[in-house]
């Protein structure tokens, strides 16, 4: 089952998020989990010459890679966020594009050694639409890696999600949640050669873990 996304409404939502999430004094950082310094780092991408981040947000991870010589491009739905990242990270080599991810992947035929998402578009886009397009944009043997919170037990598929609190204007989106085995099955159905999905434990007992998924293209 998929959800009906109102792109104009979601753009407003992520513009609002950009206004609060982007910090002018932020530094480049690469971390798959929501806990700073916890878990693996960019080694999950292999040794890519080129990467595409889908839902690149504040741009910190993309710039981290660009500063290490990787051709780094990010796509984000929010024009506010893309303006902020382009201004803040100008001259680092990172490139930021404002587009809806499915449209971008469909209309641009460039390929990459790695595509990745950190609590980004892979969480908020129907995998049955996203995964085949990502597969097409990968070089042979390329990798697709994404992270997000794990599913709440019993709450699978598209889940409605309010943003900005529960008072005021109703701004919401849909996120996609599945058990690790289902993520693996969705990826292999989309043409990936292998797929591995695991939940990384939080650094503190009883805290929310991180879903880490890595798939390899043929």
CATH numbers and ranges of domains, the chain:
7-216 (3.40.50.150)
- Give tens-digit pLDDT for 78-111: 999 999 999 999 999 999 999 999 999 999 999 9
- Give tens-digit pLDDT for 166-217: 667 776 788 999 999 999 999 999 999 999 999 999 999 999 999 999 999 9
What is the reported pTM? 0.91
- Give tens-digit pLDDT for 45-57: 999 999 999 999 9
Helix spans in the chain (H): 7-21, 60-66, 79-88, 101-107, 121-124, 127-136, 180-189
- DSSP lists the bridge partners of residue 147 as 118, 212
* Predicted confidence band of residue 19 (pLDDT cuts 50, 70, 90): low
Q: Is the pLDDT of residue 12 over 70?
A: no
């Amino acid at each position: 089952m998929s959800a009906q996304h109102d792109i104009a409404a979601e753009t407003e939502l992520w513009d609002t998020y950009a206004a609060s999430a982007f910090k002018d004094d932020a530094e480049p950082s690469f971390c798959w989990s929501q806990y700073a310094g916890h878990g693996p780092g960019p080694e999950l991408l292999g040794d890519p010459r080129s990467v595409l981040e889908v839902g690149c947000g504040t741009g910190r991870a993309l710039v981290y890679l660009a500063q290490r010589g990787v051709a780094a491009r990010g796509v984000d739905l929010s024009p506010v966020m893309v303006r902020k990242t382009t201004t803040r990270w100008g001259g680092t080599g990172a490139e930021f594009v404002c587009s809806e991810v499915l449209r971008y992947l469909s209309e641009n035929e460039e390929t990459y050694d790695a595509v990745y998402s950190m609590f980004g578009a892979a969480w908020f886009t129907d995998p049955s639409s996203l995964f085949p397009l990502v597969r097409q944009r990968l070089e042979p043997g390329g990798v697709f890696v994404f992270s997000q919170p794990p599913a709440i037990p019993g709450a699978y598929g598209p889940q409605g999600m309010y943003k900005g609190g529960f008072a005021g204007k109703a701004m919401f989106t849909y996120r996609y949640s599945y058990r690790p085995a289902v993520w693996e099955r969705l990826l292999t159905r989309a043409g990936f050669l292998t797929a591995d999905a695991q939940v990384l434990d939080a650094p503190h007992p009883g805290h929310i873990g991180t879903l880490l998924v890595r798939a390899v293209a043929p």
